[in-house]
């Protein structure tokens, strides 16, 4: 195939350089979607297009097809379903990937006349007013998924992309391929990290430089769910993340992906004692400059978790909380204040805990919770005083 040479004006060269810079700078933007919007806005005038779309495999509820001119969510059927309808006849996806950069006519030849009679053209292209189209398609990521840029003219006659558009698309192709492969690689790396921390028994959260959680593991979720002072614990987690993220502003940095720290703080609540530690992770979350790994260790970890208490002793969620207070030697009044309940209700829960654990006194609650073998003692009958 011969490639047509076309002259580039100084404005064309400037637009092309801006396009390369935007494509190769996904981490200059707060999110991947913000980067995709910037790419569409930069490349649309370069191609002289009326509409631009950037498609990537979706993650975390994000949209696969992102465009400021086309509402893909409102299309019925959806755009991917339209492609599946055309795939058996035209093999459009594989042809698009094989071509890399293409016009619609290149994609559908030798079925060009049939294409204009198809339901895809009359029920999708015409209502959408996406008459003249060019695209850039690549496969990337572990699952070898398709990523693409699509550009359209909205009028049935008039300006067309032509040979100039195809030549520009071929110039953009290798830069686009490098950009999406890097972005998907870092997304997959983040997924690996998230999966690994989910299996840890300590609480772990990935937070951004503002202390906002990006991902937390189930162990931390359980700690927060059963901690009455969870808001205070959450604030400490955010504080240590912010404190450590200040390393990012220092002139000297460690290599990408290296750990820094840790920064640690202790926290005592009425229910437990915690050690919150943070480490700095550079460049490990696609679309964010800083990711901080925060671990939360509970000093009372020798007690069974509250989920185990519920299963082993048939305690309610509230009774699990009361049991931990009792194991720490807290009075009914202290339990009532910590849980925001009346002293009478706290005393009632404490009595139920002792009955289910098979002990007579508060002092025996901790021993019963840690009893080897996991089986509770036989349930006690309520003591009846003589009148």
* Tens-place pLDDT, residues 278-289: 886 655 444 445
At residue 146, φ and ψ (nearest 5 deg) are -85, 135
Cis amide bond preceding 78, omega within 30: no
Judge whether 10-190 and 201-298 match in fold. Answer: yes
pTM: 0.56
Give the per-residue pLDDT at 23: 92
Cα separation, 378 vs 268, in Å, equals 34
Give the pLDDT of residue 228: 80
**pLDDT tier, 116 (very low <50, low <70, confident <90, very high otherwise):** confident
Neighbours of 46 (CB within 10 A): 20
Of 232-236, 271-275, 354-358, the range with the lowest mean pLDDT is 271-275
- What's the average model confidence in pLDDT over 63-71? 89
- pLDDT confidence bin for 68, thresholds 50/70/90: very high
Q: How far apart are CA 131 and CA 54, in angstroms?
A: 18
| Cis amide prior to 110 (ω within 30 degrees) | yes
The answer to whether domain 10-190 has CATH 3.30.450.270 is: yes
Please give the average per-residue pLDDT across 285-309, as a whole number. Answer: 72
Contact assessment for residue 54 and residue 149, using Cβ atoms and an 8 Å cutoff = yes
> Which comes out higher in pLDDT, residue 100 or 116?
100
As a whole number of angstroms, the distance between CA 154 and CA 152 comes to: 6
Residue 291: the pLDDT is 80
Q: Across residues 42-48, what is the average pLDDT?
A: 94
Considering the segment(s) 201-298 as one domain, its CATH architecture is: 2-Layer Sandwich (3.30)
Higher pLDDT, 371 or 6: 371
- Residues in contact with 343: Cβ distance below 8 Å, sequence separation at least 6, in sequence order: 332, 333, 336
Return the pLDDT at 256. 45
- Give residue 384's pLDDT band: very low, low, confident or very high (50, 70, 90): very low
pLDDT of residue 247: 63
Under 8 Å between Cβ of 226 and 320? yes
At 246 the pLDDT is: 75
CA-closest candidate to residue 223, choices 163, 305, 115: 305
Q: What pLDDT digit, counting tens, does each position of 191-215 carry? A: 676 777 888 888 998 888 888 888 8
Q: Which of 55, 76, 57 is nearest to 66 (CA)?
A: 55
Return the pLDDT at 300.
Answer: 54
Residue 230 pLDDT more than 70? yes
CA nearest to 330, candidates 223, 233, 228: 228
pLDDT of residue 5: 54
* Separation of alpha carbons 140 and 175, rounded Å: 13
Binned at pLDDT 50, 70 and 90, residue 139 comes out as very high
> Which pLDDT belongs to residue 248?
55
* Closest by CA position to 51, among listed 129, 114, 148, 141: 129
pLDDT surpassing 50 at residue 257: no
pLDDT confidence band for 31 (50 / 70 / 90): confident
Fold entry, domain 306-369? Arc Repressor Mutant, subunit A (1.10.10)
Average pLDDT over residues 97-111: 88
∠174-180-186 over CA atoms, to 5°?
135
pLDDT of 237 reads 93
Domain ranges of the chain: 10-190, 201-298, 306-369
Q: Check whether 261 has a pLDDT greater than 60.
A: no
Residue 123 binned pLDDT confidence (cut-offs 50, 70, 90): confident
Q: What's the average model confidence in pLDDT over 219-236?
A: 87
Distance CA 19, CA 42 (A): 6
> Is the CB of residue 152 less than 8 Å from the CB of residue 130?
yes
Q: Is 343 exposed, middle or buried (0-12, 13-18, 19+ CB in 10 A)?
A: middle
Work out whether strand 65-66 and strand 51-55 pair parallel, antiparallel, or are unpaired.
Answer: antiparallel
pLDDT-derived band at 221 (thresholds 50, 70, 90) equals confident
Residue 380 has pLDDT above 50, yes or no: no
Name the nearest CA neighbour of 353 among 372, 373, 328.
328
Q: What is the pLDDT of residue 229?
A: 84
Arithmetic mean of pLDDT over the chain: 81
């Amino acid at each position: 195939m011969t490639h047509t040479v076309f002259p580039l004006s100084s404005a064309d060269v400037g637009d092309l350089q801006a396009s390369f810079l935007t494509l190769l700078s996904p981490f200059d933007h707060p999110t991947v979607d913000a980067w995709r919007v910037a790419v569409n806005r930069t490349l649309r005038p370069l191609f002289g297009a009326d509409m631009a779309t950037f498609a990537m495999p979706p993650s975390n509820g994000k949209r696969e097809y992102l465009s400021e001119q086309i509402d893909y969510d409102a299309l019925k059927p959806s755009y991917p379903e339209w492609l599946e309808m055309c795939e058996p006849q035209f093999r459009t996806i594989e042809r698009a990937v094989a071509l890399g950069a293409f016009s619609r006519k290149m994609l559908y030849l030798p079925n060009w006349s049939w294409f204009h009679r198809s339901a895809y053209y009359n029920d999708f292209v015409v209502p959408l007013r996406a008459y003249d189209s060019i695209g850039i398609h690549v496969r990337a990521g572990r699952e070898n998924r398709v990523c693409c840029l699509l550009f359209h003219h909205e009028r049935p006659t008039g300006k067309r992309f032509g040979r100039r558009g195809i030549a520009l698309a071929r110039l953009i192709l290798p830069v686009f391929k490098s950009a999406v492969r890097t972005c998907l690689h870092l997304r997959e790396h983040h997924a690996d990290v998230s999966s690994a921390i989910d299996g840890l028994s300590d609480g772990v959260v990935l937070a951004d430089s503002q202390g906002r959680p990006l991902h937390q593991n189930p162990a931390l979720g359980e700690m927060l769910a059963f901690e009455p002072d969870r808001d205070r614990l959450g604030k400490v987690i955010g504080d240590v993340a912010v404190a450590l993220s200040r390393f990012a502003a220092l002139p000297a940095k460690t290599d990408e992906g290296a750990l820094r720290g840790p920064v640690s703080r202790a926290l005592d609540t009425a229910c437990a004692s915690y050690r919150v530690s943070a480490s700095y992770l550079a460049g490990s979350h696609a679309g964010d400059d800083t990711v901080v790994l925060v671990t939360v260790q509970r000093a009372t970890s020798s007690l069974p978790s509250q989920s185990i208490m519920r299963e082993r002793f048939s305690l309610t969620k509230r009774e699990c909380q009361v049991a931990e207070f009792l194991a720490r030697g807290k009075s009914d009044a202290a339990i009532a204040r910590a849980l925001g309940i009346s002293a009478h209700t706290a005393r009632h829960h404490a009595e139920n805990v002792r009955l289910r654990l098979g002990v007579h006194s508060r002092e025996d609650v901790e021993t019963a919770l840690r009893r080897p073998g996991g089986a509770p003692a036989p349930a006690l009958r309520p003591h009846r005083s003589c009148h």
